[in-house]
Structure 1
Amino acid sequence: MRFHKECLHCKNQLVGRTDKKFCDPQCKSAYQYQQAKEQPERFYNKVDNQLKLNRKILKEYNKGGKVTVRDEILKEKGFDPNFFTHYWKNQKGDVYLFVYEFGFLKREEHNIGKYILVKWQDYMQKNIPT
């Protein structure tokens, strides 16, 4: 006895094995892509995407090694200071948050929020606890 089944993607009638689900590899790929898009974004992907965006923004604005930028400019681009990879504390007690090799420190001057952007330096390695 033969069952008439449809392709899960294009709904064409399938010919061949009884356990076949797709008419060709393109339909299988399109179906899996469609299923993945309908799934909510995984937490890991959200964090990874935000870290990548933060790094890209910090790299774009920190061409000189140490720069001051208004926080509204970075936030307009999608920067989120809650996502960082590590931190470094200087001798004054300021804590710089880093996204890989690009760091930032939040400052308030004359009621205007700013970020001091820095790039990781070799001397910063000395202050990391082991």
Structure 2
Amino acid sequence: MRFHKECLHCKKLLVGRTDKKFCDPQCKSGYQYQQAKEQPERFYNKVDNQLKLNRKILKAYNKGGKVTVRAQVLIKKGFNPNFFTHYWKNKKGDVYLFVYEYGFLKREEHNVCKYILIKWQDYMRKKIPLG
């Protein structure tokens, strides 16, 4: 008794084992890819993808170590400031949000929203006393 009479992906007639579902490995792979595309993206994947995109954008615009860029430019590229990995507070009290090694600080100058972009430095590491 055969469970599946045709390939689940290409619908060709199956020959061989009775529990066979696909005619070849390519059809199996194609079917699994199609199934994955139809399912909604998992929360973890959304966050991870946005973090990767944010890092890529910050890296592309921060060639000099410290740069100021209009927020609108970054946002048009897909940057979302709500996704970051950690933060650092300087002595002035400014809180830089970081996406891995690339940081940003939101500023408003002359009614234009901008981001100051920096790169993580060793001196930013907070020293915790051991005793």
Same fold (TM over 0.5): yes
Q: Amino acid of the residue matched to residue 11 of structure 2?
A: K
Q: Give how far 1:126 is off.
A: 2.5
Percent of aligned positions that are identical: 86
Aligned to 2:82: 82
Provide the alpha-carbon RMSD of the alignment: 1.8
Residue 51 of structure 1 contacts residue 84 of structure 1 at CA under 8 Å; is this kept in 2?
A: yes
Q: Does the aligned pair in 2 maintain the 1:88–1:128 contact within 8 Å?
A: no
Cα offset, 1:110, TM superposition: 1.3
Kindly provide the amino acid, as one letter, of the partner of residue 107 in structure 2.
R
Whether contact under 8 Å (1:88, 1:127) holds in the other structure is no
- How far residue 33 of structure 1 moved from its aligned partner, in angstroms, is 0.7
Count residues with an aligned counterpart: 130
- Contact 2:4–2:20 (8 Å) recurs in 1: no
TM-score between the two structures when normalised by the length of structure 2: 0.93
The residue that corresponds to 1:42 in the other structure is 42
Specify the alignment match of 1:5 in structure 2: 5
Gap change, CA 1:27 and 1:90, over 3 Å in 2: same
Assess, with a 3 A threshold, how the Cα gap between structure 1 residues 110 and 84 changes in structure 2: closer, same or farther: same
Whole-Å Cα distance in 2 between the matches of residues 103 and 129 of structure 1? Answer: 25
Structure 1 stretches lacking a partner, 5+ long: none
Q: Partners of 1:113 and 1:122 in 2: how far apart? A: 28
Q: Deviations over 1:48-93 (max 9, x none)?
A: 1111111111011111111111100111111000000000011111
How far apart are residue 3 of structure 1 and its match? Answer: 6.2
- Structure 1 position 127, deviation (Å): 5.7
1:19, CA displacement in angstroms? 0.7
Distance change in 2, residues 1:3/1:47 (3 Å):
closer
Look up the SS of the partner of 1:126 in the other structure: coil
Shift of 1:12: 1.1
Aligned to 2:18: 18
Name the structure 2 match of 1:105. 105
